[in-house]
Homo-oligomer: A and B are copies of this chain.
Amino acid sequence: MKKRQITIKDIAKALHISPSTVSRSLADHPDISQETKNIVNAYAREHKYKPNALALSLRTNNTKTIGVILPQIVHYFFSSVLSGIEDEAEKGGYRVIICQSNENYEKEVKGAQALLEARVCGVLASVAKTTTIYNHFQELIDSDIPMVFFDRICTGILTDRVVVDDYAGVCSAVEYLIRSGCRRIAFFGSPSHLAISNNRRMGYEDALRKNGLPVDKELIKICDNYTEALRLTPELLSLPNRPDAFFAVNDETAIGVLNVVKAKGLRIPDEVSICGFTNNSLAEVSDPLLTSVDQHGYELGAIAMRLLIERLNGVRDGDRIVSKIIKTNLVVRQSTR
């Protein structure tokens, strides 16, 4: 059924020479005569010889493969991170194998096990929302597999990491809203067991405090998707002292707010400003166009991979942990004053 690919042995047999000569010829080893090389290479090309990556990896104990663990590829942010990862991996001569956790702890653990069995050289990971135990990551570390966490890091585990400066990103976005005249700014955030959620909320609160505005619990909601935004926004808008701005931790949520606000007949941005986070394609096609914080996912991915490759190449010494922070920037469009 399944045809075996041609091997070095096959070539050797056909050409009546030894496998090592074939191997060396293909590797352009200086010891081999040009004539032999020509014959071997011609034969190999003709028969479409392809080196067996498995055999090579097994021998060298080096798979040239990086494992990536992330929540969901369908999310714009993660797929852009992945692009950065892949491009950089390719430059470094590494293959990438991906495990989606789907925000599910068990799948994340299984993924980590699979990466271990696949003998990956290193792992990039962003943890699932439901993950609260980190043994599977610790096991990677214990097996001396270098790790770099990105975005959703795992504070308990000491590794290189690269995160978005959520705190500053939110803080400066909220300050922008304040400068533009907003005084009652609502915050729609995620449940707070991920460090990243807290950072964002702190950015929001500190921006208010710095500018002498009160932090009103009434204006802070756990809400991080479109449908929830449709449900919660009306409540806030019917408050006696309704918000004059909304900050949402992702663009879907922000668009939900935007649609409700429009439906209520309030003008954007004159009566209500709205700011999102991620800056995905939604922001570029909404009406009005959405002001949003760009997280530079591609760069984040590329930097994380570079960090890992440096570590693998032994560029950096053992113990020093590097923590990179990606600056966001606010892309101002039409939904804010």
The chain A residues found within 8 Å of chain B, CB to CB, are 1-5, 48, 50-55, 57-58, 61-63, 73-74, 76, 79-80, 82-83, 86, 95-98, 100, 113-114, 116-119, 121, 139, 142-144, 226, 252, 255-256, 259, 262, 281-282, 284-287, 314
A80 touches B86 (CB 8 A): no
CB neighbours (8 Å) of A55 from chain B are 58
CB neighbours (8 Å) of A2 from chain B are 61-62, 121, 144
Instruction: Give chain B nearest CB distance to A201 CB in angstroms.
Output: 24
B95 touches A4 (CB 8 A): no
C-alpha spacing A264/B79, complex, angstroms: 35
Instruction: Give chain B nearest CB distance to A271 CB in angstroms.
Output: 17
Q: What are 24 A-B contacts with C-beta separation under 8 Å? A: A1-B144, A1-B314, A2-B121, A5-B116, A48-B142, A50-B117, A51-B117, A52-B58, A52-B117, A53-B117, A54-B58, A54-B63, A54-B119, A55-B58, A73-B82, A73-B83, A74-B83, A79-B79, A83-B100, A226-B284, A259-B287, A281-B282, A285-B286, A286-B287
CB neighbours (8 Å) of A256 from chain B are 285
Instruction: Give chain B nearest CB distance to A236 CB in angstroms.
Output: 19
A252 touches B57 (CB 8 A): no
Cβ-closest 4 pairs across A and B:
A3-B144, A255-B285, A74-B79, A53-B117
A285 touches B314 (CB 8 A): no
C-alpha spacing A228/B3, complex, angstroms: 48
